[in-house]
C-alpha cells in the first residue's frame, strides 16, 4: 500500500567494499574485464552523450530480449536473484512441511503457480462466486456492497483504500481514501489526442471487449459492456488529478469525520461500507474530495447493468494473470506488448516468483538473507551510509543560499534519519494465510485478503516504525518521509558477475554511494520530502526566504528536463519528475565529496585508463546501464515520477562542475552548460 510517502524507485546495486580514508584502496587485478572499460563506447565523447559513452558498448552487444520491455543492469541483478529465489522455492516444494510454516506456504504457492494443467482446466472458475454475486445484483445498494467487498480481494474498483501514517501526526495510523478506478495507467490516456495515445485508447477498448467475451461467451453483450466500462472510466478520469498534482502533500490531505464524509457522499454509504470491512474509525483522510464527490454522483447516474459491466471487467482484469492461458495471454498482449513493447511472455517461473514475492515476501526474505547477505556485508554498507551522511551534513553546513535557522533544522532532520540496511529486525507472520496446492488464483485471493486484514489491524495499533515497506530480496530502495528513514534492502547491493573485492572504491561511491544512498538521503530534502520535519510530520520548518531560494533553484531543474525530447516529439514532465531529479543531482555531489576522502582518490592512480574521478562518474552511469523499448518509454513519460533512464545520467552531470573537469568538457560539446546556468541545490 502506498501514499504520498512514495517508494522511490532507484537503481543502485552492488555488494562492494567500503574503505576508510586511511585504508589502501581496493584495486585488485582480476582476470575479468574491467567493470567499466568493457562497457564503454569510446566513439562518443562524454561531453556529447555521457550515457552512451559509459554504457553504449554493452548496450550494443546486448539487445533487449523479446520477453522484456527493457534490458540492462536491472535485469542482470534481477536474474541473479530470480535464480536464488527459484532454488529456495523449489527446495520448499520438495518437502512435506507443517501447515502454516514458511516452507509449506512458499512450496505450495510455487507449486500451484507452476501447475499449468490444473490452472488450464479451471478456466475462469476461480472467479465464479464473485461473478455470480455481480450477475445477481439488482440495485445500486448491491453495487456499493460489491465495490466494498472487492476491496478485500485486491481488485479495488472505483477508489483506492489503504492504511498509512497520518501525514501530520506520524505517530498514528490512519485510513486513506484516494482516486482510483481506472483500467489505463493514468488519466491522460483518456484525453490526449496524439496518435500514440489514441492508438492505445482504441486498443484498450478492444482488450476489454475480448476479456469480457471470454467470461460471457457473447460478443454482442461484451461489446455493450465495453462501452459502459469505457464511459464510466472516462467520467472518473475527468476528476483525477494529474501526476504532478499528486506530489503536493497539502493538496492531497483532507481529514474528515466518517459521519461528515458519509453525509456528503450518501450514495456510497461510507459508514456502512467501513463497518462491513470491520474498519472501526471515527475519521478518514481523503486524498481528493472532488473525486469522491464525483464517484458518489456516478452511482446514481449509471445503471445497475453498466456498473455490473464495470465490476466484472475490474474483477477479471485484476486476476487474469492467474487464470487459464486465454486470460493470461490477453492480459499480457495489452499491458505488456502494446503498453510496454514486450514481444513474448517471460518464463512462467519468473512470473510465479513475482506473484509469490507479493504474497509471501517476508517468508522468502528470511531464507534469502540467511543464505546471501552475511553480517559482514551488512556492516560494510552501514559504514558506507555513515560516510555519505557525514558528507551531506558538511554540504548543508556550507550552503550559501540557506539561512542559519533553517540550516540548523535541516541538520537536526538529517541526524534523525533512520537507516535501515539489509533486512528488518522482525518478520511478518503469515501463518494465518491459507495457501495450498490446489488453485493458484485462490492463493492470490487469500494473500490479498491477508494483506488487507494485516493493514486494517494497524488502525488499532501504535505505529510500528521498525516495519519495512520492501523485502530484503527486492531490487529497490526508498525514502519514507513519515518515518524519516532510508530503506536499503539487501538485494540492492548485488553485483552481477563480480565479487566485492574485484571492484574499486571509485565505482563503489558512484554506484552505491551516489545513486542509492545519497539519492535516498536527498529525498528527505527534495521538493516534497522537505515539507516533513525530523519526526515525519507534514510541517513547514523553512523560512520564506529559504523556500524562495529553494524553489528558484528547483524551477531551473524543472525547465531543464522539460526541454529534453524523447522519442519523436515527447518531453519529460519536469514538475512530476522533480523530486527524483533533485535526488539524482544531490546524490552525485554528496557522494563525490565522501569519495574524495578515500585513499584511491588521493593517490590518483589510473585503472583501465580512467582516473579515480572519471571512474566515480562512470560508476554512477553504470548503475543506469539500461535501455527501454519505445512503447515503454512513452508509457513512462505519462505515468512515472522518474525521468527516462538516459536522462538520469545526462541531466545531473551537466550541473556538476567536477564532471566537466574529469572529462574535459568544453563549450564545443553538446551537453555543455555554462557555469552560471548550472543548477546547484545541495
Digit-coded pLDDT (tens) for 558-574: 999 999 999 988 999 99
**Once rounded to an integer, what is the mean pLDDT over residues 307-318?**
98
At 547 the pLDDT is 97
- 403: pLDDT strictly greater than 60: yes
Query: Residues near 454 by Cβ (< 8 Å), separated by ≥ 6?
Result: 428
Give the cell for residue 602: 588521493
At 493 the pLDDT is 85
Q: What does each C-alpha distance from 54 to 42, 65, 618 come to in angstroms? A: 8, 21, 6
At 217 the pLDDT is 81
Using CA atoms of 161, 162, 163, 165 in order, give the dihedral in degrees to the nearest 10: -100
The mean-pLDDT minimum among 1-15, 488-502, 635-649 falls in: 1-15
- 28: pLDDT strictly greater than 70: no
Give the cell for residue 170: 506520524
Predicted TM-score (pTM) of the model is: 0.92
End-to-end CA distance of the chain: 31
At 20 the pLDDT is 32
Cα separation, 441 vs 448, in Å, equals 11
- 588: pLDDT strictly greater than 50: yes
**Once rounded to an integer, what is the mean pLDDT over residues 111-120?**
98
pLDDT tens, residue by residue, 58-103: 999 999 999 999 999 999 999 999 999 999 999 999 888 899 899 9
Give the cell for residue 90: 523449489
- 225: pLDDT strictly greater than 60: yes
- 639: pLDDT strictly greater than 60: yes
Kindly indicate the confidence band of residue 26, based on its pLDDT and cuts at 50, 70 and 90: very low
Options 1.10.1380.10, 1.10.510.10, 1.10.600.10, 2.60.120.10; CATH for 124-322 is: 1.10.1380.10
- The residue written with cell numbers 562512470 in the block is 618
Q: How is 31-76 classified by DSSP, letter by letter?
A: SSPPTTGGG--TTS-TTT-HHHHHHHHHHHHSPPPTT-SEEEHHHH
Residue 255 or residue 28, greater confidence? 255
The dihedrals phi and psi of 566, each to the nearest 5 degrees, come to -120, 140
**Once rounded to an integer, what is the mean pLDDT over residues 500-512?**
88
Share of the chain above pLDDT 90, in %: 89
**Once rounded to an integer, what is the mean pLDDT over residues 602-608?**
96
Residue 32 or residue 206, greater confidence? 206
At 107 the pLDDT is 96
Q: Where are the domains of the chain?
A: 124-322
Task: Specify the 3-state DSSP secondary structure of 651.
Answer: helix
If phi > 0 it is left, if psi is from -120 to 50 it is alpha, else beta; for residue 157 that is beta
At 19 the pLDDT is 30
**Once rounded to an integer, what is the mean pLDDT over residues 193-220?**
95
Q: Which among 655, 669, 622, 642 has a CA at the least distance from the CA of 56?
A: 622
At 7 the pLDDT is 33
Report the relative pairing of strands 283-286 and 169-179 from DSSP bridges.
Answer: parallel
Amino acid at each position: 500500500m502506498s501514499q504520498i510517502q512514495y517508494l522511490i524507485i532507484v537503481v543502485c546495486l552492488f555488494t562492494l567494499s567500503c574503505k576508510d580514508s586511511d585504508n589502501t584502496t581496493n584495486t585488485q587485478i582480476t582476470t575479468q574485464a574491467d567493470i567499466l572499460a568493457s562497457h564503454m563506447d569510446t566513439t562518443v565523447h562524454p561531453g556529447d552523450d555521457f550515457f552512451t559513452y559509459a554504457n553504449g558498448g554493452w548496450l550494443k552487444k546486448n539487445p533487449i530480449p523479446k520477453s522484456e520491455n527493457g534490458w540492462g543492469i536491472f535485469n542482470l541483478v534481477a536474474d541473479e536473484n530470480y535464480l536464488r529465489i527459484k532454488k529456495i522455492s523449489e527446495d520448499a516444494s520438495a518437502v512435506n512441511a507443517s501447515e502454516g510454516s514458511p516452507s509449506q506456504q512458499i512450496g505450495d504457492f510455487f507449486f500451484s503457480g507452476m501447475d499449468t494443467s490444473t490452472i488450464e482446466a479451471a478456466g475462469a472458475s476461480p472467479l465464479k462466486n464473485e461473478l455470480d454475486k455481480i450477475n445477481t445484483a439488482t440495485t445500486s445498494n448491491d453495487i456499493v456492497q460489491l465495490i466494498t467487498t472487492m476491496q478485500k480481494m485486491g481488485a479495488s474498483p472505483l477508489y483506492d483504500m489503504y492504511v498509512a501514517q497520518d501525514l501530520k501526526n506520524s505517530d498514528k495510523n490512519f485510513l486513506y481514501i484516494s482516486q482510483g478506478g481506472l483500467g489505463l495507467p493514468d488519466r491522460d490516456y483518456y484525453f490526449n489526442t496524439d496518435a500514440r495515445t489514441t492508438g492505445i485508447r482504441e486498443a484498450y477498448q478492444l482488450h476489454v471487449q475480448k476479456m469480457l467475451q471470454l467470461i460471457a461467451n457473447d460478443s454482442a453483450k461484451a461489446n455493450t459492456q465495453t462501452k459502459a466500462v469505457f464511459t464510466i472510466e472516462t467520467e472518473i478520469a475527468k476528476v483525477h488529478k494529474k501526476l504532478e498534482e499528486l506530489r503536493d502533500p497539502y493538496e492531497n490531505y483532507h481529514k474528515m469525520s466518517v459521519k461528515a464524509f458519509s453525509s456528503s457522499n450518501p450514495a456510497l454509504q461510507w459508514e456502512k461500507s467501513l463497518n462491513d470491512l470491520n474498519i472501526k474509525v471515527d475519521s478518514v483522510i481523503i486524498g481528493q474530495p472532488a473525486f469522491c464527490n464525483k464517484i458518489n454522483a456516478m452511482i446514481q447516474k449509471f445503471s445497475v447493468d453498466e456498473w455490473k459491466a464495470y465490476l466484472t471487467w475490474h474483477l477479471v482484469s485484476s486476476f487474469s494473470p492467474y487464470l487459464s492461458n486465454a486470460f493470461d495471454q490477453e492480459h499480457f498482449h495489452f499491458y505488456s506488448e502494446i503498453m510496454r513493447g514486450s514481444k513474448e511472455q517471460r518464463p512462467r517461473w519468473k512470473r510465479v516468483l513475482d506473484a509469490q514475492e507479493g504474497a509471501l515476501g517476508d517468508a522468502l526474505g528470511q531464507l534469502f538473507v540467511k543464505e546471501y547477505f552475511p553480517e559482514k556485508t551488512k556492516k560494510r554498507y552501514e559504514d558506507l551510509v555513515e560516510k555519505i551522511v557525514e558528507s551531506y551534513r558538511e554540504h548543508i553546513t556550507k550552503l550559501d543560499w540557506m539561512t542559519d535557522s533553517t540550516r540548523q533544522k535541516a541538520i537536526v532532520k538529517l541526524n534523525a534519519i533512520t537507516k535501515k540496511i539489509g533486512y528488518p529486525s522482525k518478520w511478518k507472520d503469515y501463518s494465518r494465510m491459507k495457501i495450498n496446492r490446489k488453485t493458484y488464483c485462490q492463493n492470490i485471493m487469500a494473500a490479498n485478503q491477508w494483506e488487507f486484514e494485516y493493514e486494517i489491524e494497524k488502525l488499532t495499533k501504535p505505529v510500528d516504525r521498525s516495519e519495512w515497506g520492501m523485502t530484503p530480496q527486492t531490487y529497490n530502495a526508498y525514502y519514507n518521509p513519515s518515518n524519516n528513514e532510508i530503506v536499503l534492502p539487501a538485494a540492492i547491493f548485488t553485483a552481477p558477475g563480480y565479487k566485492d573485492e574485484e571492484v574499486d572504491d571509485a565505482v563503489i561511491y558512484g554506484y552505491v554511494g551516489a545513486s542509492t544512498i545519497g539519492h535516498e538521503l536527498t529525498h528527505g530534502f527534495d521538493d516534497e520530502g522537505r515539507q516533513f520535519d525530523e519526526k515525519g510530520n507534514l510541517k513547514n520548518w523553512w523560512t520564506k526566504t529559504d523556500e524562495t531560494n529553494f524553489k528558484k533553484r528547483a524551477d531551473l531543474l524543472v525547465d531543464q528536463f522539460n526541454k529534453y525530447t524523447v522519442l519523436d516529439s515527447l518531453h519529460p514532465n519536469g514538475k512530476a519528475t522533480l523530486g527524483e531529479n533533485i535526488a539524482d543531482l544531490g546524490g552525485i555531489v554528496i557522494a563525490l565529496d565522501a569519495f574524495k576522502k578515500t585513499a584511491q582518490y588521493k593517490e590518483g592512480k589510473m585503472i583501465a585508463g580512467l582516473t579515480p574521478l572519471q571512474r566515480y562518474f562512470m560508476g554512477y552511469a553504470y548503475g543506469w546501464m539500461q535501455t527501454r523499448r519505445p512503447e515503454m518509454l512513452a508509457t513512462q513519460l505519462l505515468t512515472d515520477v522518474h525521468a527516462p533512464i538516459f536522462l538520469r545520467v545526462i541531466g545531473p552531470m551537466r550541473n556538476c562542475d567536477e564532471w566537466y573537469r574529469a572529462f574535459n568538457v568544453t563549450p564545443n560539446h553538446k551537453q555543455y552548460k555554462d557555469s552560471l546556468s548550472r543548477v546547484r541545490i545541495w
